[in-house]
């Protein structure tokens, strides 16, 4: 048996007016990943080797996102938005090259599963010219309705064009379709714009196929899979679903989430074994947490790698480029960025560690700040292994603290400190015997004068 070829066309030219945002709709994120990336991921998983993405004018950012996810994706511009069928025809050149199956996926339907795309392809392989994904939403408003006569799919009617009877049908169009490659162009070219909006509706492919005596079939899926995102409320609903799934997946993989409903994950969050995540933690993109680590309440992590048995938080912020070695500890109100904190090193309280490396076993005292930015450039701080940085020290980068060195608290360190050296860099302490008593006396004298003169 020869393997059937497939072209996927992702429609992403919509402005997304209902999102009320300057960002193109498909670039809005669910679980830290753009809607477009979700869809492209499903298409790739359905083993569709060629991908075309239809973008709107001036949507360079959408093209860039498509290429980031699928480097060989071909992008087509739909110059004016005249409807979903018109958008598909923007990729006419790709369709004309010929593929057995043409999958058409809307860029605003992020939960579509590869298995469903495979089912659509199977329906086409079995002889249908058009196969559409259908579902029965709790609230069908806004969706196109499937018109079924004598058990056969004969049309899809957009809500605005539907008769009362058609509208009463709970079976809706999920916005994903497969066309038989051999008939695709003749079906698409027949589609007109006789509807309320005067647009070329892809959904009319069903009626066109019927008119050509070809078969159209529907494949039913759960609502969650084809939830279309047109508004910020729908984006928030989608996020809630995505979070629920990611939490379930983490729990199934053995992660202890004490209060799962308060933990926010990204689609790419990676956990090892025996990890405890306390309530109220946010995982941004690209976080890896290794075996036995603990992430305590109210911490925010993004682009961070947490080593085995390390401890984060409560109230810690790990920004991109953070790497915590095995058993390292980052405590409350500590921010780390572009920095490695090697095995067993500790920064337990109130610190900023940016553009730095902290050697194994080093201790960073409360209030230590790496002054990495001089107002125009960033500089690095290197702290050797087992160094001790006294509380409230400012390390003015570029600067190096040698292994085993000891920095007295309150120091402002501007020059390198050799290994095992002791450095103190703060104003000398002045002590005047009974000075406090004198001060109080002077103050009360001054107050009496003021009272008598006023
Ligand atoms: C569409 C379907 C509807 C279905 C619903 C499922 C049509 C006519 N209607 O409605 O039956 O129930 O999806 O979510 O297909 N786009 C373009 N160029 C255009 C118009 C749209 O690229 O000229 C893209 C959009 O970016 C979007 C997708 O096509 O990704 C769907 O367009 P949208 O306007 O969201 O269609 P719906 O009204 O939701
Ligand atoms: Ca939509």
Counting from 1 in the atom list of ligand 1, the atom nearest the Cα of 227 is: 14
The arithmetic mean of pLDDT across residues 337-348, rounded, is 98
- Reported as a single tens digit per residue, the pLDDT across 191-234 is 999 999 999 999 999 999 999 999 999 999 999 999 989 999 99
Ligand nearest to the CA of 225: 1
Select which of 58, 305, 349, 379 is catalytic: 349
228 C-alpha vs ligand 1 centroid, how far in Å? 9
Distance between CA atoms of residues 9 and 253, nearest Å: 34
Of the candidates 322, 323, 325, 296, the one whose C-alpha atom is nearest the C-alpha of residue 310 is 325
Evaluate if pTM is beyond 0.85. Answer: yes
Cα–ligand 2 centroid distance for 181 (angstroms): 24
pLDDT digits (tens, 9 = 90+) for 137-188: 999 998 999 999 998 999 999 999 999 999 988 999 998 999 999 999 999 9
83 lines ligand 1 (CB under 6 A): yes
- Regarding the beta carbon of 54 and ligand 1, being less than 6 Å apart is answered yes
Residue ranges of the alpha helices (H) in 153-262?
A: 164-167, 181-190, 205-211, 223-226, 232-252
Q: Is the CB of 82 under 6 A from ligand 1?
A: yes
What does the alpha-carbon distance between residue 14 and residue 77 come to, in Å, rounded to a whole number? 11
Measuring from atom 14 of ligand 1, which residue has the nearest CA?
228
Among 13, 80, 84, 220, the mutation site with the greatest number of ligand 1 atoms within 8 A of its Cβ is 84
Q: What is the mean pLDDT of residues 337-354?
A: 98
In short, whether 107's Cβ falls inside 6 Å of ligand 1 is: yes
CA of 218 from ligand 2 middle (Å) equals 19
Above 80 in pLDDT, residue 60?
Answer: yes
243 lines ligand 1 (CB under 6 A): no
- What is the distance between the alpha carbons of residues 425 and 408, in angstroms, rounded to a whole number? 7
pLDDT at 450: 85
Residue 246 pLDDT: 97
Residue 230 beta carbon below 6 angstroms from any ligand 1 atom: yes
How do strand 294-295 and strand 311-312 relate by DSSP bridges? parallel
What is the pLDDT at residue 1?
61
Mean pLDDT, rounded, for 6-20: 94
Residue 138 CA to chain centroid, in angstroms?
27
Q: Compute the distance from residue 406 Cα to the ligand 2 centre, in Å.
A: 61
Alpha carbon separation from 151 to 35, 87, 217 (Å, rounded): 34, 30, 10
Amino acid 14: pLDDT = 86
Cβ of 269 below 6 Å from ligand 1:
no
Which atom of ligand 1 lies at the shortest distance from residue 109's CA?
Answer: 14
pLDDT band, residue 15 (cuts 50/70/90): confident
Is 349 annotated in the active site?
yes
């Amino acid at each position: 048996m020869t393997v059937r070829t497939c072209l996927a066309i992702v429609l992403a030219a919509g402005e997304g007016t209902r999102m009320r945002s300057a960002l193109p709709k498909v670039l809005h994120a669910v679980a830290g990943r753009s809607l477009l990336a979700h869809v492209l991921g499903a298409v790739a998983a359905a083993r569709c080797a060629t991908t075309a993405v239809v973008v709107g004018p001036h949507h360079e950012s959408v093209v860039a996102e498509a290429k980031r996810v699928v480097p060989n994706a071909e992008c087509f511009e739909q110059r004016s938005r005249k409807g979903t069928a018109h958008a598909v025809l923007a990729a006419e050149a790709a369709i004309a090259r010929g593929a057995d199956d043409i999958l058409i996926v809307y860029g605003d339907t992020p939960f579509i599963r590869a298995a469903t795309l495979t089912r659509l392809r199977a329906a086409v392989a079995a002889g249908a010219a058009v196969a559409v994904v259908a579902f029965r939403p709790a609230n069908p408003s806004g969706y196109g309705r499937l018109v079924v006569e004598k058990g056969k799919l004969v049309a899809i009617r957009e809500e605005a064009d539907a008769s009362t009877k058609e509208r009463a049908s709970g079976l809706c169009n999920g916005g994903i379709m497969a066309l038989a490659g051999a008939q695709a162009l003749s079906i698409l070219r027949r589609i007109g714009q006789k509807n309320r909006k005067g647009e070329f509706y892809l959904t009319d492919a069903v009626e066109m196929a019927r008119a050509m005596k070809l078969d159209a079939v529907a494949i039913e899926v759960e609502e969650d899979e084809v939830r279309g995102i047109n508004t910020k409320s729908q984006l928030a609903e989608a996020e809630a679903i995505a979070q629920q799934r990611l939490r379930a997946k983490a729990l199934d993989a053995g992660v202890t989430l004490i209060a799962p409903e308060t933990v926010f994950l990204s689609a790419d969050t990676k956990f090892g074994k025996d990890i405890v995540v306390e309530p109220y933690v946010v995982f941004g993109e690209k976080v890896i947490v290794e075996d036995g680590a603990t992430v305590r309440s109210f911490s925010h992590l993004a682009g961070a790698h947490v080593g085995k048995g390390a401890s984060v938080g409560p109230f810690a912020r790990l920004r991109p480029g953070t790497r915590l070695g095995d058993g390292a500890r980052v405590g409350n109100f500590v921010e780390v960025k572009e920095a490695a904190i090697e095995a067993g090193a500790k920064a337990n309280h109130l610190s900023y560690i940016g553009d730095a490396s902290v050697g194994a076993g080093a201790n960073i005292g409360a209030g230590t700040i790496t002054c990495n930015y001089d107002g125009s450039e960033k500089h690095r701080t290197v702290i050797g292994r087992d160094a001790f940085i006294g509380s409230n020290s400012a390390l003015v980068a570029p600067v190096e603290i040698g292994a085993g060195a000891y920095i007295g608290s309150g120091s402002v360190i501007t020059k390198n400190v050799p290994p095992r050296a002791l450095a103190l860099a703060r104003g000398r302490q002045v002590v005047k015997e009974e000075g406090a008593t004198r001060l109080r006396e002077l103050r009360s004298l001054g107050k009496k004068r003021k009272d008598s003169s006023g």
